């Protein structure tokens, strides 16, 4: 009789499961440390101040992109459009500056607004249009990339000084690193401290329970995707700033890097679990691998194999984590 | 009920979208007397192919042909579908710039069967007949780049190579030409070869990383201008002074960089000429004239000395 | 009956962890006879059935088929021995045809292709066995539930089932459909098929059964003929003094003010024209059979589902249909039917789960009030005696009773004054049940009002000040605590015509 099938009272987990749970919860951090130690041993060029700053710059785009995706994945969805939205936002910003003659800071704002708007469209389609977010954002991936090409006619557009500033240095510190840190703090604050952030965990964990508790699930979903679009736009502007131009083919395929970073960082694709700190670590893992493979001059064919394996291992941790939770 | 209604909605939307896009594409309505030439490009997501299209368009307008341009978005399957669509009575000739030389073979064979002449441009077609193959000589261009870079660094020092998308023929040929060319300079060593996937942002990161491991580098060869510009970005002030960068393609941005001195050279393919020649070959094939099986478009080493001729 | 039983469960026992759900029970299934299993939810009926079906294996005792001991390690083994079970959740593929469903796993082929003619012919033969007249090419999903059930019975018989186990087959059927089913059962009995029958409808037992095994708390209490009067069956089933188990006083001392008014509420296909009032300090029980529309009604009041007509008013404020947030703001709290699927975010902490309803209302400028939330959660967890290591552990790791208290606690923190309880003690052990009943009393004593839907009739009778009985989506009658007896409720719940409004 299921009705009398009570769960056994909680018992102290034995040591094996405790170790398994620690590894599962901190797998990305352990992996990152192992990776860094291995690279430190393999090449003297890895652990230098300059190289670490380089890694900081290189991680900025994918990490900022991944912050937005973290919101979506925590809320139980997926956002495949972030790479295209990043490109579109930087292109719109560039167009307003170069072709429409808007002041640089207004053009920058227009870029951010573009990301926000595409995110709202994604959110409306998935929350009210009842499209699976996979489909809604897949459509947006194509539409946003197409609009980028329409606006640019396939050619790069120079960016405003304000956007270029995002790619420069302030004293010894690169601006992308500063932006990365600020974005991480904001994203973490939103996720941990605000009502909408905490609601994301409930919506991702069990949308029906969240709804029956009186949480405005649909409004939360729209906010989630809007945030994802906004962070994608910021990532796009960062990338444009580093290249001093908005590229029509910028950030192609970056959505997969962003999702990989989030998952490596310990979020569950099933929703309800994920942290910004984890996402930073996940993005670092990806970038450090690429950096290390460059330093070691590993051929490009093998690089793809290595990165694929890392993602597979990370998803394996996700499965392990869920097993230790329920087991 | 609801599913019926949503099906109807989707059908209506699809029809609207189709109608709208049809309206966008057919800016000039085809005249029956004009020969119709379909230009199937691997991608328009790259200035090189945009310039190729522009050259072809200008020539078609001048010769009174109706040019229909389709973009395969770097997807062989999309290109196959587009070529299948082109295989119709209203098409007189097809110019194809394959996404993949092998994959396009079957589609071109079908066009051969319909007796529609096919001209290949930039990349060749394997396993089917083409009336003409028009391309820049990538191997020769690679050699020219090696010479230009060697001259700029005085035949001495370490250089790095930024490779294109692994496995593409452009990357293979340019890399091979560069390797052959640079072998003539015993003072120069290639200390690293890494892919940056023909992408500017990737090249920025990869070059930054490579400079970390090889601080003494004095030259960079990139297999296209986009990557060369990424390398310039990574080098910052050192570009054009301590470190010389040579690119390939002669895109607008690349030419501008040569003019500004941040790049020492680019190998100008002349994409506009590629497009122009392709249209000429296609029209000649329609008319039944003799067409040369292979036509090379000159690649030109663009340096500070002759950049004025290329700048727009 | 002296003939050898087809199937015997001999002195079987079964425990899940520390809980013994079946203890030393013997059941015989004879050819050409219908053995009824009767008992409250949790008495052990489903576990017995699952032992017959090979889903559960007994911890003690033996299973005998034709007098020989057998092992039933899985469903397939049971089927091999001719034991077929028709579960409440039918085991059919809605998108396939009747013929394909009947012949599932045994589709005839010719030269590797499906032999459609043979497929139809064999399926037709199977349907004819029970006189079921449906098109073998119809999609099963397009058939009504009653016909789907008969298709499944035909499917079972076509694999030579000699023992047919029917788990609450009439729960979702209309009276006409039930009669049709009973005609098929009578035919099968005449053909020598042995059957096991579970039903909560006491009136069906005399009509269909031969012998009745009454179960209570996992024990066999008595085996009696199906002709035994219903009162006697209920006495055997419940067996204990209801007053002790249900600590409800004699109802509200004074007439409280009206807090919830439902007027003419209708939702196509679920319920229609429902009106009632609930006062402060009152528990209104809603009884009825599964499928009578009780859960749907409760969800509509809570704003979880939209409705077609009517109004819900809480303390004079009319609620917007389909808006849970508005209902919560008006003081409505909803403890849903399935706490794991609808009530809790299982991987989130107890603290988080207790706070969802008050997340926004206690926030300042969009920022969560963490300190206050923790204080409130710890306080309410203490009051409700939620047993846990600490308040940050995932709610998943709590026992069913404590999980249920966490759902209650959410509304206690929110200060909800109208609680809608859907099966509040389902899957909760006896001790926690009493604690939940005491909580209900505490809420009403504090001026709250409660609407409680429960399929456990003794619970409805023991805890309600008034009982509404629903049948086929309508109110069949209203009974005061004094009038409400098993018989009175069941009479209303199973009567064919809907009586006038109360």
The DSSP string of C416-483 is -SEEEEESTTTT--HHHHHHHHHHHHHHHHTT-EEEEE-S-HHHHHHH-SEEEEEETTEEEEEEETTT
For chain C, give the number of residues. Answer: 502
Q: Running DSSP on this structure, what letter comes out for residue C4?
A: P
The predicted pLDDT at position A20 comes to 67
- A131 phi-psi bin (left φ>0, alpha ψ -120 to 50, beta other): beta
Q: How confident is the model at residue A2 (pLDDT cuts 50, 70, 90)?
A: very low
Check: CB of residue C227 under 8 Å from CB of residue C256. no
Percent of chain A with pLDDT over 90: 61
Q: Report if residue A287 sits inside a domain.
A: yes
Collect all residues of chain C within an 8 Å Cβ-Cβ radius of residue A202.
Answer: 345, 348, 352, 356, 359
Asked if A6 lies within 8 A of C400 by C-beta distance, the reply is: yes
Residue C21: pLDDT above 80? yes
Average pLDDT over residues B180-207: 94
Domain count, chain A: 1
Pairs across A and B, CB distance < 8 A: 78
Q: Report if residue A24 sits inside a domain.
A: no
Pick from B45, B166, B195: CB nearest A154: B45
Q: Report if residue A22 sits inside a domain.
A: no
Residue A325: pLDDT above 70? no
Query: What is the Cα B43 distance to its own chain's centre?
Result: 8
Check: CB of residue C348 under 8 Å from CB of residue C330. no
Residue B4: pLDDT above 70? no
Strands of C418-422's sheet in order across: C332-335, C418-422, C449-453, C283-288, C466-471, C474-480
The predicted pLDDT at position B180 comes to 96
Q: How many CB atoms within 10 Å of residue B109?
A: 14
Q: How confident is the model at residue A296 (pLDDT cuts 50, 70, 90)?
A: confident
Residue C399 CA to residue C7 CA, distance in Å, equals 36
Residue C462 CA to residue C365 CA, distance in Å, equals 46
Percent of chain C with pLDDT over 90: 43
CA-based nearest residue to C420, from C251, C310, C305: C305
Find the helix packing angle between C116-129 and C145-158, rounded to 10°.
100
CA angle C269, C270, C274 (to 5 degrees): 120
Determine the structural domain holding residue A314 and report its residue range: 30-326
Q: How confident is the model at residue C429 (pLDDT cuts 50, 70, 90)?
A: low
Q: How confident is the model at residue C250 (pLDDT cuts 50, 70, 90)?
A: low
The predicted pLDDT at position C502 comes to 41
Average pLDDT over residues A278-307: 87
Could you tell me which chain A residue has the CA closest to the CA of C20? A4
Tell me the helix, strand and coil percentages in chain B, rounded to 5: 45, 20, 30
Q: Which residue has the higher pLDDT, A63 or A319?
A: A63
Q: Is C72 helix (H, G, I), strand (E, B) or coil?
A: coil
The predicted pLDDT at position A9 comes to 40
Max Cα separation, chain C? 81
The owner of tokens 């009530």 is C343
Closest-CA distance of chain A to residue C325, Å: 4
pLDDT per residue as tens digits for the range C274-297: 999 999 999 999 998 877 899 999
The predicted pLDDT at position B5 comes to 56
The tokens describing A6, both together, are 């009570």
Q: How confident is the model at residue B32 (pLDDT cuts 50, 70, 90)?
A: low
Q: How confident is the model at residue A15 (pLDDT cuts 50, 70, 90)?
A: low
> How far is the first Cα of chain C from the last one, in angstroms, to the nearest whole number?
48
The predicted pLDDT at position C497 comes to 46
Average pLDDT over residues C369-379: 94
The predicted pLDDT at position C38 comes to 87
Residue A40 CA to residue A46 CA, distance in Å, equals 6
The predicted pLDDT at position C501 comes to 43
Residue C70: pLDDT above 80? yes
pLDDT per residue as tens digits for the range B155-176: 999 999 999 987 777 888 899 9
The predicted pLDDT at position B2 comes to 47
Q: Are strands C113-114 and C109-110 parallel, antiparallel or unpaired?
A: antiparallel
The predicted pLDDT at position C467 comes to 94
Most confident of the following: A220-224, A261-265, C71-75, C383-387: A220-224
Residue C89: pLDDT above 90? no
> How far is the first Cα of chain A from the last one, in angstroms, to the nearest whole number?
21
Average pLDDT over residues C85-101: 84
Asked if C399 lies within 8 A of A215 by C-beta distance, the reply is: no
Average pLDDT over residues B29-56: 82
Residue A3: pLDDT above 60? no
Residue C122: pLDDT above 50? yes
Q: How confident is the model at residue B24 (pLDDT cuts 50, 70, 90)?
A: very low
Q: How confident is the model at residue A185 (pLDDT cuts 50, 70, 90)?
A: very high
Closest-CA distance of chain A to residue C310, Å: 21
The predicted pLDDT at position A11 comes to 42
Asked if B45 lies within 8 A of A250 by C-beta distance, the reply is: no
pTM value? Answer: 0.73
Residue C67 CA to residue C4 CA, distance in Å, equals 7
The predicted pLDDT at position A88 comes to 97
Q: Is C188 helix (H, G, I), strand (E, B) or coil?
A: helix
pLDDT per residue as tens digits for the range A146-172: 999 899 887 788 889 999 999 888 988
Average pLDDT over residues A193-205: 94
Each domain of chain C, given as residue ranges in start order, spans 7-241, 242-331+417-502, 341-415
- Span C242-331+417-502: which CATH code? 3.40.50.300
Residue C461: pLDDT above 70? yes
For chain A, give the number of residues. Answer: 327
Check: CB of residue B264 under 8 Å from CB of residue B255. no
pLDDT per residue as tens digits for the range A125-153: 999 998 999 999 999 999 999 999 899 88
Could you tell me which residues come within 8 angstroms of residue B208 by beta carbon, excluding any fewer than 6 positions away?
A54, A57, A58, B234
Q: Which residue has the higher pLDDT, A323 or B247?
A: B247
C-alpha distances in Å from residue C190, one per residue of B67, C33, C165, C183: 82, 9, 16, 11
Q: How confident is the model at residue C248 (pLDDT cuts 50, 70, 90)?
A: confident
A303 touches chain B (CB under 8 A): yes
Check: CB of residue B204 under 8 Å from CB of residue B234. yes
Which domains can be identified in chain B, with CATH numbers? 30-130+271-297 (3.40.50.2300), 138-269 (3.40.50.2300)
SS (H, E, C) A24-51: HHCHHHHHHHHHHHHHHHHCCCCCCHHH
Closest-CA distance of chain A to residue C55, Å: 12
Q: Report if residue A21 sits inside a domain.
A: no
Residue C431: pLDDT above 80? no
Average pLDDT over residues C413-426: 92
Collect all residues of chain A within an 8 Å Cβ-Cβ radius of residue C342.
Answer: 206, 208-209, 212
> A-contacting residues of B 28-57, CB under 8 Å?
44-47, 49-50
The predicted pLDDT at position B298 comes to 79
The CATH number for A303's domain is 1.10.3470
Check: CB of residue B56 under 8 Å from CB of residue B279. yes
The predicted pLDDT at position A21 comes to 65
Q: H or E stretch including A74?
A: helix A49-74
> B-contacting residues of A 202-261, CB under 8 Å?
239, 242-245, 247-252
Residue C214 CA to residue C38 CA, distance in Å, equals 5
Could you tell me which residues come within 8 angstroms of residue C63 by beta carbon, excluding any fewer than 6 positions away?
C7, C8, C9, C10, C12, C51, C52, C69, C70, C71, C72
Could you tell me which residues come within 8 angstroms of residue B298 by beta carbon, excluding any fewer than 6 positions away?
B136, B270, B273
Q: What top-level class would CATH report for the domain C7-241?
A: alpha beta
Query: Mean pLDDT, chain A, as a whole number?
Result: 88
The predicted pLDDT at position B8 comes to 58
The DSSP string of C90-105 is ----TTSBHHHHHTTT
The predicted pLDDT at position C500 comes to 42
Q: Which of A206-210, A302-306, B215-219, B285-289 has the lowest mean pLDDT?
A: A302-306
The predicted pLDDT at position B123 comes to 85
Q: Where are the alpha helices (DSSP H) in B158-199?
A: 169-182
Residue A206: pLDDT above 50? yes
Asked if A54 lies within 8 A of B233 by C-beta distance, the reply is: no
Q: Where are the alpha helices (DSSP H) in C303-416?
A: 324-329, 350-355, 370-383, 400-413
Could you tell me which chain A residue has the CA closest to the CA of C340? A209
């Amino acid at each position: 009789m299921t009705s009398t099938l009570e769960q056994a009272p909680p018992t102290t987990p034995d040591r094996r499961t405790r170790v398994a749970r620690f590894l599962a919860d901190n797998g990305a951090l352990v992996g990152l440390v192992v990776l860094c130690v291995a690279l430190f041993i393999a090449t003297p060029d890895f652990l230098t101040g300059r190289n670490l700053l380089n890694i900081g710059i290189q991680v900025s785009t994918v990490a900022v992109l991944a912050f937005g995706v973290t919101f979506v994945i925590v809320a139980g969805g997926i956002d495949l459009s972030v790479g295209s939205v990043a490109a579109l936002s930087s292109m719109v910003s560039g167009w307003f500056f170069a072709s429409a003659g808007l002041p640089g800071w207004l053009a920058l704002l227009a870029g951010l607004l573009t990301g926000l708007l595409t995110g709202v469209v994604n959110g409306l389609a998935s929350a009210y249009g009842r499209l699976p977010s996979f489909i809604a954002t897949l459509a947006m991936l194509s539409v946003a990339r197409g609009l980028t090409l329409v606006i640019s006619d396939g050619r790069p557009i120079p960016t405003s000084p304000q956007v270029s500033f995002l790619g420069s240095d302030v004293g010894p510190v690169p601006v992308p690193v500063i932006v990365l840190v600020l974005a991480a703090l904001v994203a973490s604050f939103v996720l941990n401290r605000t009502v909408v952030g905490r609601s994301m965990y409930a919506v991702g964990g069990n949308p029906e329970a969240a709804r029956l508790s009186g949480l405005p699930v649909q409004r939360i979903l729209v906010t989630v995707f809007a945030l994802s679009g906004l962070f994608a736009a910021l990532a796009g502007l960062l990338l444009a700033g580093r290249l001093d131009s908005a590229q029509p083919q910028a950030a192609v395929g970056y959505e997969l890097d962003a999702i990989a970073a989030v998952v490596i960082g310990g979020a569950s694709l099933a929703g309800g679990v994920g942290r910004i700190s984890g996402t930073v670590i996940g993005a670092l893992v990806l970038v450090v691998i690429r950096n290390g493979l460059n330093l070691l001059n590993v051929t490009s064919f093998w690089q793809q194999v290595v990165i694929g394996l890392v993602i597979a291992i990370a998803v394996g941790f996700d499965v392990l984590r869920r097993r230790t939770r329920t087991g | 009920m609801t599913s019926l209604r949503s099906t109807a909605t989707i059908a209506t939307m699809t029809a609207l979208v189709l109608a709208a896009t049809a309206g966008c594409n057919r800016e000039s309505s085809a005249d029956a007397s004009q020969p119709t030439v379909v230009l199937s490009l691997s991608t328009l997501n790259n200035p090189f192919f945009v310039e190729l299209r522009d050259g072809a368009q200008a020539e078609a307008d001048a010769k009174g042909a109706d040019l229909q341009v389709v973009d395969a978005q770097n997807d062989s399957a999309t290109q196959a579908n587009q070529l299948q669509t082109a295989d119709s009575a209203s098409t007189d000739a097809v110019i194809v710039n394959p996404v993949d030389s092998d994959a396009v073979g079957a589609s071109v064979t079908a066009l051969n069967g319909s007796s529609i002449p096919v001209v290949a441009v930039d990349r060749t077609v394997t396993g089917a007949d083409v009336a003409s193959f028009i391309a820049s000589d990538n191997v020769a261009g690679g050699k020219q780049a090696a010479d230009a870079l060697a001259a700029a660094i005085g035949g001495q020092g370490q250089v790095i190579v930024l490779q294109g998308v692994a496995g593409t023929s452009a990357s293979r040929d340019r890399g091979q030409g560069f390797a052959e060319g640079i072998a003539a300079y015993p003072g120069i060593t290639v200390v690293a070869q890494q892919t940056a996937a023909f992408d500017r942002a990737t090249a920025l990161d990869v070059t930054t990383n490579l400079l970390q491991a090889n601080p003494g580098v004095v030259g960079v060869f990139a297999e296209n201008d986009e990557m060369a510009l990424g390398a310039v970005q990574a080098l910052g002030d050192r570009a054009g002074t301590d470190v010389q960068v040579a690119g390939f393609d002669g895109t607008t941005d690349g030419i501008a960089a040569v003019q500004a001195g941040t790049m020492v050279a680019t190998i100008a393919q002349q994409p506009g000429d590629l497009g122009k020649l392709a249209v000429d070959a296609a029209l000649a094939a329609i008319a039944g004239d003799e067409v040369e099986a292979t036509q090379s478009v000159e690649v030109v080493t663009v340096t500070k000395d002759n950049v004025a001729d290329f700048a727009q | 009956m002296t003939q050898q039983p087809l199937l015997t469960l001999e002195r079987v026992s079964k425990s899940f962890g520390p809980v013994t759900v079946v203890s030393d029970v013997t059941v015989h299934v004879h050819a050409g006879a219908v053995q009824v299993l009767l008992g409250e939810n949790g008495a052990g009926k489903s576990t017995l059935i699952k032992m017959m079906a090979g889903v559960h294996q007994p911890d003690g005792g033996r299973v005998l088929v034709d007098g020989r001991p057998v092992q039933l390690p899985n469903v397939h083994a049971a089927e091999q021995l001719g034991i077929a079970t028709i579960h409440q959740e039918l085991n059919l593929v809605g998108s396939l045809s009747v013929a394909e469903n009947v012949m599932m796993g045994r589709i005839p082929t010719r030269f590797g292709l499906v032999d459609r003619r043979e497929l139809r012919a064999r399926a037709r033969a199977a349907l004819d066995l029970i006189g079921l007249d449906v098109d073998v090419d119809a999609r099963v999903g397009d058939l009504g539930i009653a016909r789907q059930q008969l298709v499944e019975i035909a499917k079972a018989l076509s694999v030579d089932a000699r023992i047919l186990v029917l788990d609450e087959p009439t729960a979702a059927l209309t009276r006409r459909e039930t009669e049709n089913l009973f005609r098929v059962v009578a035919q099968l009995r005449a053909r020598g098929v042995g059957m096991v029958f579970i039903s909560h409808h006491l009136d069906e037992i005399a009509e269909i059964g031969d012998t009745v095994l009454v179960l209570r708390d996992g024990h066999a209490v008595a085996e009696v003929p199906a002709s035994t009067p219903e009162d006697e069956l209920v006495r055997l089933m419940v067996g204990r003094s209801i007053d002790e188990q249900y600590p409800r006083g004699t109802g509200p001392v004074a007439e409280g003010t009206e807090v919830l008014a439902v007027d003419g509420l209708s939702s196509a296909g679920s319920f229609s024209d429902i009106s009632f009032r609930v006062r402060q300090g009152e528990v209104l029980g809603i009884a009825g059979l599964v499928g009578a529309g009780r859960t749907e009604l409760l969800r509509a009041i809570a704003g979880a589902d939209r409705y077609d007509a009517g109004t819900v008013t809480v303390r004079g404020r009319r609620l917007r249909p389909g808006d849970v947030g508005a209902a919560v703001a008006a003081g409505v709290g909803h403890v849903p039917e399935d706490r794991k699927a609808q009530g809790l975010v299982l991987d989130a902490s107890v603290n988080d789960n207790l706070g969802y309803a008050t997340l926004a209302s206690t926030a300042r400028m969009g920022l969560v009030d963490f300190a206050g939330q923790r204080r409130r959660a710890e306080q309410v967890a203490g009051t409700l005696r939620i047993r846990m290591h600490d308040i940050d552990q995932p709610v998943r790791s709590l026992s069913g009773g404590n999980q249920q208290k966490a759902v209650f606690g959410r509304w206690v923190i929110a200060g909800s004054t109208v609680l809608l309880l859907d099966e509040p003690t389902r899957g909760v052990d006896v001790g926690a049940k009493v604690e939940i009943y005491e909580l209900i009393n505490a809420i009403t004593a504090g001026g709250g009002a409660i609407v409680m839907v429960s399929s456990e009739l003794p619970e409805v009778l023991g805890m309600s000040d008034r009982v509404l009985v629903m049948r086929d989506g309508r109110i069949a009658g209203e009974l005061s605590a004094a009038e409400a007896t098993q018989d009175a409720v069941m009479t209303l719940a199973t009567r064919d015509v809907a009586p006038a409004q109360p």
